[in-house]
Chain A
Amino acid sequence: MKVKIIVASIVIVIAIVFGAISFVETNVEYTDFHNAVSTHKKVQVKGAWNKNKESSFDISKSQFSFYMTDDNGQEEKIVFDGAKPNNFEIANAVVVKGRYEDGCFHASEILTKCPSKYEADAESVKKSL
């Protein structure tokens, strides 16, 4: 019986340590560009699309690039493997997930945040009268 308990405890401890390491390794922090540029880690940054600067889709590489300003006012070029995301024009905030490398932020995922539900609703309720 004792041996069983010892073996079980060891297995549990290994599993917990393994889980904790995976958890820390894969945690994608919410941060700003300053941090992204200095750490080169995979992070998530929220900001707004800078519409004054060029944004374009490169057909030969199938990459969409644009400039984004984070909440602290720092601006970076974003390169995304894919086309312009859904609702990009109407989004009031953009969240990019990826890492900063060699002069631009390589996004693997882009989330668009649309205007808050309540504001949108108040607008549309007036429209549907």
Chain B
Amino acid sequence: MIGNILVKVAFVSILISGASYFYSFKKSSNQFLVIGRNAYHLTAIFVLSFCAYLVYLILTHQFQFTYVWNYSSTDLPTPLLISTFYAGQEGSFSLWTLYTTVIGIILMQYTSRKGYESEVMFVWSMILSFLLLMLIVKNPFTFIWDSFPNDLIHIGAIPFGTSNYVWIDQAKSIWAQFPVEGKGLNPLLQNYWMVIHPQILFTGFSSMAVPYTFAVAGLLRRDYQSWVKVAKPWTVFGAAVLGTGIILGGYWAYETLGWGGYWGWDPVENSSLIPWLVCVASIHTMMSQRRSGTFVKTNFVLSILCFIMVLYSTFLTRSGVLGETSVHSFVDAGMWAYWLLLGVIFLFGVFGFGLLIRRFKEIPKIPVEHSIYSREFALFLGAFTICFAAAFITIGTSSPIITNILKGHAAAVDTSYYVKTIVPLGIVIALLTGIGQLLWWKTSTARDLFKGALYPFISSVLFTIGLIYVGVRDIPVVLFSFASAFALFVNIYVGFKIFVGNPKYAGGAIAHIGLALLFLGFVSSARYDDKATVSLEEGKSKEILGGEYTLTYMGNRQIDNERYGFTVQVRHANETYMVMPVMRYSTQSNSMMRHPDILNMYTKDFYISPLSVESPGDQAPASYTFSKGEVKEINGLSVKFIDYDFPDEEKGKMVTGGDVTIGAILEVQNKGVTEQVKPLFKRTQGGPSFVPATLSHTDIHFTIVKMQPNREDPSQSKVDISVSNPTDVSHNQPKAETLVVEASIKPFINLVWMGTITLIVGFAVTIIRRVQEARGKE
């Protein structure tokens, strides 16, 4: 009850705050400004209170609340227990609301110094009221008996010994029982990442609303230039924090979740990348406006779009609209949340863009003075390309919706879509990252550019030749590497000169060095990762990845009730390492979790992820691949694959869709006797079947496992055949336990992490400079 009331009171008070701020803006009334301010502070107190109340409920294990029961349990350590605050949808909306509220307080103080308070806080209150409205519809304070009335609400006498009950209506003897233990936190989330990552991500998400707020404020007060200066440090801050959140999420997935990589183009990942890209694009055009007053309209569009994309991404991942097209399970938030989110996108979109259209003619047009060889033009092209990338990712992520509208049924794009579309844009972005740094504001000449570019260009050509020499032949990869190297060398060259002059101004160059390193890391670790799925019989060594690595499974060891570690010896380049990937069977969620182990070797990571453990006797009979005419010795038999038996009439049926039978003719020699056997593949209406053939006078069966006919050249056809002999199991089945792992090499993945850190340092330097600039110290 208390939680619900606090949410509603906060909603009412933010509406009062918003209305007062609006009135104070319209009438320039100082009195209403004070009311708005006080109402906002009051809202903040209510928001902090219901968040604190939720933390209290979680810490004291009040399982009569559905949310607390659903995500926490009594056995969690305190940091993780607190992190269950945002483990679910309602809680993460609460966290978003909390950070938005807190950022609002800082924003209020900042804007009151700048004379922007009424307009900015009016828009901010509107944003906050939307979040609070979401929480009124869906909040973490639902009683569990309201969620499960059929199971928990009873009428009549309370059985003796029941202590976990509450009276709902004692007069009618209606009572409800509540759980004494919670379901607990998803085991996948039970690590320190869960404590920090969502916090950073939601701080970033909340900050993405700031540029929108300033842009709308600028439009409201017909201030088309100076809002940019005020908004700039916030925009950079938002990009820095959200960027950190995104990459930390990637590291989490790589290091703990065992997804095999740091980025999977999943809707959840994309939904934070899209607003980030738009925000980064707007940083560049804002910079240009600060310098030469250009791109006024572009900055309005991008700042508004940035927040709209936050809302749209939230809609994609929180409304259940993507359904079954992702690995992440999306909770169906219900019709209310769906329409509310859609309505809010529409509302804020119309408000922002509508206002821009109304003011469009008023906005002074700055005549374009700069040439193609100017930093403005490079920045514009860069921002434009980044926006294209954002658009492609948005379209890809929205694919289920788009195909549903166009074709009537949903279809997701394959991840190759993103690689195809983003790589060319990445090459352009990398080149512009270099060129932009070499150009002066307003006017440069082609000569300036060539002069500055000469040494970096020569260095990157040499670098690229080196790459081609060591075997990089893929044209997009060569181009991407060249462009990234060029960006890297130019920014090191320019950055060094700036740094010597005044380190404060080097933020941009440092961030771009980070970006170039990131790009190089992306190319090497994603394009040249080498992967193998291998089965390791205990105690036996196996060479993998072209014989460079020798793996030996040494045995398993129980770590705790649920966790097993699998020790694997890795021999590589005369060194011996031990790794221990872990598998965890969670009885609570009834599922298996696999945690990888990583050998970090400076120039590469050796990544090993457990897939399964097969105990002896569990496995399928061994299968053998035969080329046409090939003879193999199997358990004392000599087996030869003659050909497929696939008459033309059967081929005809395959096209018309009738029943088809294909045979594999094998010639088997057993103790001097030669015999032909023909296991069959049949496809009928009911489905396919693989009919084994038995060798005469024996129990030995031959079965087709997989057909690999070669249509162009039938003499190259292959077939997989399994040979089973029930009376002689020992021959074709391993005796020891077998560990199945996926091993992969990620070359130069350290570049990704180095690049990230450099990028964040660059952002930090820029924020410091922009804050000083906004304070007017320059």
Q: List residues of A whose CB falls within 8 A of some B CB.
A: 1, 15, 18-19, 22-23, 25-30, 38, 42, 44, 46, 54, 56-62, 65, 67, 69, 74-77, 79, 81-84, 86-87, 90, 95, 102-104, 111, 113-114, 117, 121-122, 124-126, 128-129
B777 within 8 A of A: no
Can you give 8 A-B contacts (C-beta < 8 A)? A30-B325, A57-B619, A59-B535, A90-B590, A103-B681, A103-B704, A124-B183, A128-B180
- Residue pair B395, A128 in contact (C-beta under 8 Å): no
Q: When A67-B687, A124-B183 are in contact, do A28 and B614 touch as well, CB less than 8 Å?
A: no
- Residue pair A113, B412 in contact (C-beta under 8 Å): no
Distance of B22 from chain A, by nearest CB (Å): 39
- Residue pair A29, B533 in contact (C-beta under 8 Å): no
Q: When A42-B414, A103-B662 are in contact, do A87 and B591 touch as well, CB less than 8 Å?
A: yes
- Residue pair B331, A62 in contact (C-beta under 8 Å): no
Q: When A28-B414, A121-B148, A128-B180 are in contact, do A57 and B612 touch as well, CB less than 8 Å?
A: yes
Q: List residues of B whose CB falls within 8 A of some A CB.
A: 63, 69-70, 144, 147-148, 150-152, 164, 177-183, 324-325, 327, 329, 331, 368, 388, 391-392, 395-396, 399, 403, 409-414, 416-417, 420-421, 424, 533-535, 537, 590-594, 611-612, 614, 618-620, 622-624, 657, 662, 681, 683, 685-688, 690, 704-709, 720, 734, 738, 740, 742
Bound complex: CA A28 to CA B407 (Å): 13
- Residue pair B683, A129 in contact (C-beta under 8 Å): no
Distance of A115 from chain B, by nearest CB (Å): 10
Taking CB as reference atom, which chain A residue is nearest B327? A111
Q: Contacts of A77 on B, CB cut-off 8 Å?
A: 688, 690
Among B417, B614, B686, B706, the residue within 8 A (CB) of A79 is: B706
Distance of B563 from chain A, by nearest CB (Å): 16
Distance of A2 from chain B, by nearest CB (Å): 13
Among B70, B395, B535, B618, the residue within 8 A (CB) of A60 is: B535
- Residue pair A103, B688 in contact (C-beta under 8 Å): yes
Distance of B17 from chain A, by nearest CB (Å): 37
- Residue pair A83, B688 in contact (C-beta under 8 Å): no
Q: Contacts of B742 on A, CB cut-off 8 Å?
A: 82
Closest 9 interchain pairs by CB?
A75-B687, A56-B620, A83-B611, A83-B612, A26-B417, A128-B179, A62-B533, A26-B414, A59-B535
- Residue pair A28, B411 in contact (C-beta under 8 Å): yes
- Residue pair B180, A129 in contact (C-beta under 8 Å): yes
Taking CB as reference atom, which chain B residue is nearest A69? B687
Q: Contacts of A76 on B, CB cut-off 8 Å?
A: 687-688
- Residue pair A15, B324 in contact (C-beta under 8 Å): no
Bound complex: CA A23 to CA B415 (Å): 10
Q: Contacts of B704 on A, CB cut-off 8 Å?
A: 103
**Across the A-B interface, how many residue pairs have beta carbons closer than 8 Å?**
157
Q: From DSSP, what is the main secondary structure of chain A's interface residues?
A: mixed
Bound complex: CA A16 to CA B410 (Å): 22
Q: Contacts of A83 on B, CB cut-off 8 Å?
A: 533, 611-612, 740
Q: Contacts of B410 on A, CB cut-off 8 Å?
A: 30
Bound complex: CA A69 to CA B331 (Å): 26
Taking CB as reference atom, which chain B residue is nearest A104? B706
Bound complex: CA A90 to CA B738 (Å): 23
- Residue pair A104, B148 in contact (C-beta under 8 Å): no
Q: Contacts of B590 on A, CB cut-off 8 Å?
A: 87, 90
Distance of B141 from chain A, by nearest CB (Å): 17
Bound complex: CA A94 to CA B756 (Å): 37
Q: Contacts of B594 on A, CB cut-off 8 Å?
A: 86
- Residue pair A129, B164 in contact (C-beta under 8 Å): yes
Bound complex: CA A56 to CA B535 (Å): 14
Bound complex: CA A80 to CA B709 (Å): 19
Bound complex: CA A57 to CA B614 (Å): 8
- Residue pair A57, B177 in contact (C-beta under 8 Å): no
Q: Contacts of A30 on B, CB cut-off 8 Å?
A: 324-325, 409-411
Distance of B553 from chain A, by nearest CB (Å): 12
Q: When A27-B403, A57-B620, A59-B535 are in contact, do A125 and B152 touch as well, CB less than 8 Å?
A: yes
Distance of B654 from chain A, by nearest CB (Å): 9
Distance of B150 from chain A, by nearest CB (Å): 8
Distance of B495 from chain A, by nearest CB (Å): 30
- Residue pair B411, A126 in contact (C-beta under 8 Å): no
Q: When A23-B395, A104-B706 are in contact, do A59 and B591 touch as well, CB less than 8 Å?
A: no
Among B150, B177, B179, B592, the residue within 8 A (CB) of A87 is: B592
Bound complex: CA A46 to CA B624 (Å): 30
Taking CB as reference atom, which chain B residue is nearest A116? B332
Bound complex: CA A69 to CA B416 (Å): 28
Distance of B373 from chain A, by nearest CB (Å): 14
- Residue pair B623, A60 in contact (C-beta under 8 Å): yes
Bound complex: CA A54 to CA B591 (Å): 22
Q: Contacts of A126 on B, CB cut-off 8 Å?
A: 151
Q: Contacts of B681 on A, CB cut-off 8 Å?
A: 103
Bound complex: CA A102 to CA B396 (Å): 31
Residue among B327, B411, B720 facing the most chain A CB atoms (10 A cut-off):
B411
Bound complex: CA A69 to CA B618 (Å): 23
Distance of B369 from chain A, by nearest CB (Å): 12
Q: Contacts of A65 on B, CB cut-off 8 Å?
A: 620, 705
- Residue pair A28, B164 in contact (C-beta under 8 Å): no
Q: Contacts of B412 on A, CB cut-off 8 Å?
A: 27-28, 44
Bound complex: CA A35 to CA B293 (Å): 57
Distance of A113 from chain B, by nearest CB (Å): 7
Taking CB as reference atom, which chain B residue is nearest A54? B620
Q: Contacts of B612 on A, CB cut-off 8 Å?
A: 57, 83-84
Q: Contacts of A102 on B, CB cut-off 8 Å?
A: 706-709
Among B329, B411, B687, B706, the residue within 8 A (CB) of A74 is: B687
Q: Contacts of A26 on B, CB cut-off 8 Å?
A: 413-414, 416-417, 420
